[in-house]
């Protein structure tokens, strides 16, 4: 029985489509020291610069942290508050490339539904599992479609929305 369990775990781990996607392998709440093994741009993070009421938002190309994902036009945002990763977001505002983040979320997380693929759909789909909060959203602003996928958890969510967020180039 133990061998079957180990083989099953091995199969699930190595057949997972998220295996090569580093951005999905950093747990929310990780320290910056731990997360910088995956997100090398965090090596320059200095929490004393931001204080206790500011969340730093690092912006980099998503494809650099998730090869073969189809995220060629998406940005990766890593939100850091008090030396912890409090959120990971994918953002795409390229109107010529439709449903890029939708396809990623459908293939690697959960299917948000066919309806959200429509050009005229806007809103948010809650794909959360337990305390891990995940939201797929699409907003149409001035003829531009903005696709967003947000990952946080119940404990860290307040630092992604209620704090002052300051952009940092990664």
Cα(91)–Cα(94) distance, rounded to whole angstroms?
9
pTM of the entire structure? 0.84
Average pLDDT over residues 92-97: 80
CA 81 to chain centre: 16
The pLDDT, as a whole number, for residue 20 is 58
Q: Single out the residue of 84, 106, 101, 90 nearest to residue 159, CA to CA.
A: 84
- Residue whose tokens read 């109107």: 95
The pLDDT, as a whole number, for residue 13 is 37
- Give pLDDT tens digits for 41-54: 999 998 888 888 89
The three state secondary structure string of the chain is CHHHHHHHHHHHHHHCCCCCEHHHCCCCCCEHHHHCCCCHHHHHCCHHHHCCCEEEEEEEEHHHHECCCCCCCCEEEEEEECCEEEEEEEEECCCCCCCHHHHHHHHHCCCCCHHHHCCCCCEEEECCECCEEEEEEEEEECCEEEEEEEEEECCCCHHHHCCEEEEEEC
The pLDDT, as a whole number, for residue 152 is 96
| Domain extent listing, the chain | 20-169
Cα(26)–Cα(22) distance, rounded to whole angstroms?
7
- Give pLDDT tens digits for 10-68: 333 333 444 458 888 999 999 999 999 999 999 999 888 888 889 999 999 999 999 88
């Amino acid at each position: 029985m133990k061998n079957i369990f180990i083989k099953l775990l091995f199969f699930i781990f190595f057949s997972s489509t998220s295996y090569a996607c580093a951005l999905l392998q950093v747990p929310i709440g990780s320290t910056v020291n731990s997360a910088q093994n995956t997100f090398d741009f965090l090596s320059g993070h200095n929490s004393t610069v931001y204080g206790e009421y500011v969340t730093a938002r690092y912006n980099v190309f998503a494809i650099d942290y998730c090869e073969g994902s189809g995220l060629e036009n998406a940005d990766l945002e890593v939100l850091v508050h008090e030396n912890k990763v409090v959120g990971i977001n994918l953002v795409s505002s390229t109107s010529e490339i439709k449903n890029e983040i939708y396809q990623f979320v459908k293939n690697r997380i959960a299917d948000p539904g066919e309806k959200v693929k429509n050009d005229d759909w806007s809103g948010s789909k809650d794909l959360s599992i337990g305390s891990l909060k995940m939201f797929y959203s699409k907003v149409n602003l001035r003829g531009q479609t903005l696709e967003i996928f947000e990952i946080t958890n119940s404990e860290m969510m307040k630092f992604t929305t209620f704090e002052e967020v300051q952009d940092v180039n990664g």
